[in-house]
Amino acid sequence: MSALVTVTENLWSDLDVEAIADAPLGPLTWYGAGGHAEVLIAPRTIEALRTLMQRCRSNDIQVRVLGSGANLLVTDEGVGGVVVRLNHPAFQKADWLGDGTSTTRIGAGADLMKLVQESARRGLGGLSQLAGIPATVGGAVRMNAGGSFGDTAQSVHSIEMLTIDGEDRTIPAAELDFGYRQCALPVGIVVAAHFDLVPGNPEEIRKHVKEVFDYKKSTQPMADRSAGCMFKNPIDPATGRRESAGRLIDLAGMKGQSIGGAFVSERHGNFVGLREGGTANDILALAFAVQQRVLDHSGIRLDREVVVWSKRCENADKRRSEVP
Ligand code: FAD
Ligand code: EPU
């Protein structure tokens, strides 16, 4: 156990939040594995979240934010500090081209897959490239989720967030400097995103949603317990272009390999699945073995895309005062 401040009920007891001490995080992630959070807090209002962040900051308590847990591996020993979850209605609200503005404001806790469907239903284009990606809006922004059909960045107008100090900030997309699976988000929690959605032909939009979704379904093990692609696609030094990490893993003969309950998918080499009873340690051990094998086979080093929460990096994270 690290020498971190222990979180006590004084932190939240007078706030409009739902709090669970020693909360299992595994069931809140797609892997369904990993340990507990010292305390899991779901604020019901933005004011409660703001005050919580300010108190955490002044008491030197680390804050993490959980989306839908689709790109997240929580290590078996769990994490200290506060884990925030934006699953109350205040953080899931949608204002479709509201108040005479031209953008659509969506709460960061809203479900991206439902949002893609609903915008298609309304005949609003701009999100169909994200069909089939499991995420909250906040998680999709943070990861710049996407793929060969496009990414989140291409329709983000701006975001609203609370910084690590609990200060409100609105940041235009241009300042977020979106790149491949990354953005320059200041440390803190995204509370809403504004999207530029363009009215179009609903049938055409629905057709595109289906095309993107069908491609994912036919090439990826969507029903396995995983966190999507384990590694980012690396730049191949020979071509200067990004190469599919899945293809490199496939060529290195790693498909079907397993350690404990973790296995490399036969369908897509970059998906590390987990069988019932498997642990976060199994996943980490297999990811390491895959990385080594690809390096030996192709000379290319794979970097992880999946975010790992562990106690081990707590002090380092705290020094940088980051919400990882
Ligand atoms: P989480 O996994 O909960 O968190 C990921 C990171 O985002 C963490 O660092 C977390 O702290 C941070 N975060 C979450 N919410 C906020 C917030 N409100 N403010 C600030 N930071 C926040 N990804 C792709 O890009 N393309 C794909 O095609 C794709 N396919 C997938 C298919 C499957 C079956 C699965 C399981 C995953 C797939 N992924 C894919 C990965 C995942 O869907 C994305 O990375 C997604 O953006 C994760 O969002 P989330 O809400 O689940 O975030
Ligand atoms: N390929 C293989 N073997 C494999 C996997 C892929 O040979 O095991 C080949 C495919 O046949 C294809 C090429 O590699 O010729 C590219 O494959 P794919 O279209 O599946 O794309 P990818 O680069 O492997 C990326 C994203 C996915 C996203 C898809 C589709 C990354 C790390 N992955 O995969 O995103 O869904 O494009 O848009 O960028 C994620 O990030 O979690 C994720 C799933």
187-220 pLDDT, tens per residue? 999 999 999 999 999 999 999 999 999 999 999 9
Among protein residues, the one whose CA lies closest to atom 13 of ligand 2: 244
Give me the residues of the chain with pLDDT under 50, please. Answer: 1-3, 315-324
* Per-residue model confidence (pLDDT) at position 312: 75
* Per-residue model confidence (pLDDT) at position 68: 98
* Per-residue model confidence (pLDDT) at position 103: 87
> Running DSSP on this structure, what letter comes out for residue 18?
E
* Per-residue model confidence (pLDDT) at position 315: 47
* Number of CB atoms found within 10 A of residue 89's CB: 10
pTM comes to 0.96
Nearest Cα residue to 82 out of 25, 138, 26, 167: 25
The number of the ligand 2 atom at minimal distance from the alpha carbon of 145 is 41
* Per-residue model confidence (pLDDT) at position 2: 42
Q: Is any atom of ligand 2 closer than 6 Å to the C-beta of 245?
A: yes
Residue 4 structure tokens: 């971190």
Q: Is any atom of ligand 1 closer than 6 Å to the C-beta of 136?
A: yes
Pairing status of strand 235-236 against strand 104-107? unpaired
* Per-residue model confidence (pLDDT) at position 100: 56
Contacts of 254 (CB under 8 A, 6+ apart): 264, 269, 289, 290, 293, 294
**How many whole angstroms from 149 Cα to the centroid of ligand 2?**
11
* Per-residue model confidence (pLDDT) at position 97: 75
**Domain annotation for the chain: domains and CATH numbers:** 9-89 (3.30.43.10), 92-217 (3.30.465.10), 229-305 (3.90.78.10)
* Per-residue model confidence (pLDDT) at position 6: 78
* Per-residue model confidence (pLDDT) at position 102: 74
* Per-residue model confidence (pLDDT) at position 101: 62
The yes-or-no answer on residue 181 being catalytic is yes
